[in-house]
A = this chain, B = another copy of it.
Amino acid sequence: MNHIRNIYSSIPVDIPKELIQDVLITGSFKIERIVSKGHSSPEGFWYDQDQNEWVILLKGGAGLLFEGTDDILELKPGDYVNIPAHLKHRVEWTDPDTETVWVAVMY
């Protein structure tokens, strides 16, 4: 039968580093749950991914920076963005006081 799961369930109390878990794996894309709590990309680090990423923030908050821009884009619940492969970006901040939960589709 079909199993219903909840994207907010089974979040550990302590999240020493960002938590990335597979939700669905197919031949052409993967859905991940990402949980952050105050995490940010290390100084000077940029994500430079081989895959495209469509990502939605469901809970919490975060600041994203894209290469070539100066403005940190603030994401609040429900905000989503499509990040083409190799568009360099970094997470400047995530909410330190609550879990930030993302669903990412890597394709």
Interface residue ranges, A against B (CB under 8 Å):
1-9, 23-24, 26, 28-29, 31, 52, 54, 56, 58, 66, 69, 73, 75-76, 78-83, 87, 89, 103, 105, 107
Copies of this chain per assembly: 2
In the bound complex, CA of A31 to CA of B107 (Å): 12
> Which residue of chain B has the shortest Cβ distance to A6 in the bound complex?
B78
The binding surface of chain A is classed by DSSP as strand
Residues in chain B near residue A73, CB distance under 8 A: 2, 4
Residues in chain B near residue A5, CB distance under 8 A: 79-81
Contact between B28 and A78, CB atoms less than 8 A apart: no
Q: Could you jot down 19 A-B contacts, CB within 8 Å?
A: A1-B66, A2-B73, A2-B81, A2-B82, A4-B73, A4-B79, A4-B81, A5-B80, A5-B81, A6-B78, A24-B54, A24-B82, A24-B105, A26-B107, A28-B29, A29-B29, A31-B54, A31-B105, A103-B103
